[in-house]
Amino acid sequence: MKIKSISTIYFILIISLSAQKNYYNILDFGALGDGKTNCTQAINDAIKLASTKGGGTIYFPAGEYLSFTIHLKNKIKLYLDQGAVLIGDSESNGVGYDLPEEDAWYKKFQDFGHSYWRNSLIYGENLNNIAIEGFGMIWGKGLQTYDKPEIIGSGNKAIALKNCFNVTIKDISILHGGHFCLLATGVDNLIIDNVKVDADRDGFDIDCCKNVTISNCIINSPTDDGLCFKSSYALGYARVTENVTVTNCQIYGYDHGTLMDGTFKSEFLDEDPNANHCITGRLKFGTESNGGFKNIAVSNCVFERSRGIAIETADGGTIEDLIFDNITMRDITDTPFFIRLNARMRGPENVPVGTCRRISINNLNVYDVGGRPKSPELGAAMIMGIPGHYIEDLVLNNIRIYFRGGGSKEAIAKDVPQNIDMYPDPYRWHSMPTYGMYFRYVKGLKVSNVVMKYLNIDERPAFILDDVHDATFYNVDSQKGKDAPVFIIKNSEQIKFRDVNGLENKNLGKVELHEL
C-alpha cells in the first residue's frame, strides 16, 4: 500500500511539473499588478515564449494590469484569475495601441469600426485554438467609445479577432469595452459562454462568422446594440454568418456600469428627448448584411429596458431559416421585433436586392412596449419588405404582447414611408398607424395563438396588412377601442381568419381596402 501511495504521489508530481511547462505567470516576465505600471511588454513576452514552446496558458493572478495591444498567437489561452483586472491604458503623446490597418478599397462598405482590428486591447488575426477565460475582468478604461483615428495610438475595442478558428471566450467580465467589447470577423467555431458585459456601445459584434454558440451571457448595452450579428464586406468579400445558436442570455439597456456594480439603474436617458434612439440593448441581425444570415436559433432569452429584436437585410444578403423561441421582454423602447428587407445596397455594384424567408417567432411574452416621449405612437411589431421584394414564409405563434398604447385615431391616416434606401431602424418611422402589428409586402404569413392588449386607451387597429398575400390568422385575441377596427387590409389577397375574437371565420379573396 505504501509503495502504491508513493507511486501515486510521484505520478501527480510528474503531471504537475509537466503542466507547469505550458503555464506562464506574467509576474515572472516583469508585470506588476499595481494598477500603475504598463505591462504590455511583459504580457507579450510571455505569449511569445509560450508560442515558441507550442502554446500554453498566460496566467494573470489577482491584481490590476495596465496594457496596450496584446498580440494573441496560436494555441494561447489568456487566463484572468479571480481578482485580476486587465485594464486598457490611455494613450499619451502617440504612445499607445497598435495603429489601425491601412485603408482597404472596400472600407466604404461598412461602418468605420468594422474595418479595423489592430487598434485594440487584445488582437488576433489568422489564428487557431485560442481562448480568453477566467473569472477576472477586462476593463477598457482607456479605450475610445467612438472612432478617433486622428488620435495616434488610440484604441477602441476590448477584443478584436479576424480570420480565426477554434476560439473560446468563457467566464470573464468586460467593463467599458469601447466601440466593441468583442469584434469577431471571419471567426469560425466560436464559443462564448458565461460572459458578463457592461458596454459603452456594442457588446458582441459577430461578423461573417460560422459555427457560433453564445450561451449564458448577460449583456448591458444602453446606447448601442447588445448582441449584434453582421455579415459585412470587411473581409473584402461577402460572407454569410451562419450556423449560430444563442441560448440562456439576458440583454439589457440599463445605465452604463450598473450591471457590473449590481445596481441596474435606469436614470440616465429616461428624460432624454432622443431616448427612442438612445436606449438600445438590442439583439440585432444587420445592418451590415452583404453576406446574409442563415440557419440561426435563438432560445430562452430575456430582454429588459431594450429595443427587442431586429432582423435586417439591407445590402443584398439572404436571411433564411431563423427561429426564435421562449423569449420574454419588459420595458421595450420601440418595437418587440422588427423584420426589414430593403435596398440600402452599400456594397459592390450590380448586387441584387436580398431575400428574407422562413423566419419563426414562437413563445414570445412582452410587457410594456413602445409609447416613449419622442414617439408616443411607435411600438408596433414591424414586418416590412419593399415593392417587388417580399418577406416570405413568416410564422408568429404563441405570442402575448402588452403595448403601452395611447395612440390616437388620427394616426390611422399616417402615410408609412417606404424608406427603401435608408438605414433600416424602427425609430426612423417615428409612429405607426397600428398599435399591434404592421405587415407590408409579405407572402406566406401564419399568425396563431396571439394575444395583444394595451395599457393605455388606443384608438388604432390591432393589425394593418398592406400588400400581403396568403395569410392566415388563427386563435387571435386583440384588444380594440370602441370605434376602432381590429384589421385594416389594403391591396392584399387570400387572407383567412379562424377563431379571431370578434370576427366570423372567413376567407377574403382580393382586397383593395377593407376594415374588420
**Domain presence at residue 8:** no
**Domain presence at residue 34:** yes
pLDDT given for residue 470 in this prediction? 98
Q: Across the chain, which distance is largest between two alpha carbons, in Å?
A: 92
**Domain presence at residue 460:** yes
Model confidence over 160-175: pLDDT tens digits? 999 999 999 999 999 9
pLDDT given for residue 12 in this prediction? 47
**Closest CA relative to residue 405, chosen from 370, 451, 364:** 370
Residue type, position 463, single letter: F
Domain tally for the chain? 1
**Domain presence at residue 127:** yes
H-state helical runs in 239-389:
275-278
CA 284 – CA 325 distance, rounded (Å): 15
**Closest CA relative to residue 255, chosen from 239, 235, 237, 272:** 272
Half-sphere exposure of 293 (CA within 13 A, CB side): 33
Q: DSSP 3-state assignment of 98? A: coil
CA 259 – CA 136 distance, rounded (Å): 16
With 0-12 CB in 10 A as exposed, 13-18 as middle and 19+ as buried, what is 138?
buried
With 0-12 CB in 10 A as exposed, 13-18 as middle and 19+ as buried, what is 261?
exposed
DSSP string, 24-53: EEGGGGT---EEEEE-HHHHHHHHHHHHHT
pLDDT given for residue 6 in this prediction? 54
CA 289 – CA 362 distance, rounded (Å): 24
Taking 70 as the pLDDT cut, the residues of the chain under it are 1-20, 268-278, 373-374
pLDDT given for residue 269 in this prediction? 53
pLDDT given for residue 342 in this prediction? 98
- Work out whether the CA dihedral 381, 378, 470, 344 comes out positive or negative: negative
Contact 469, 442 (CB under 8 A): yes
Q: Tell me, what CATH number does 477's domain have?
A: 2.160.20.10
**Domain presence at residue 89:** yes
Model confidence over 443-496: pLDDT tens digits? 999 999 999 999 999 999 999 999 999 999 999 999 998 889 999 999 999 999
**Domain presence at residue 361:** yes
pLDDT given for residue 67 in this prediction? 98
Contact 81, 135 (CB under 8 A): yes
**Domain presence at residue 370:** yes
Angle made by CA atoms 136, 142, 143, in degrees to the nearest 5? 90
What range defines the domain where residue 239 resides? 22-515
**Domain presence at residue 17:** no
What's the grid cell of residue 107?
472600407
CA 231 – CA 237 distance, rounded (Å): 10
The reported pTM is 0.94
With 0-12 CB in 10 A as exposed, 13-18 as middle and 19+ as buried, what is 175?
buried
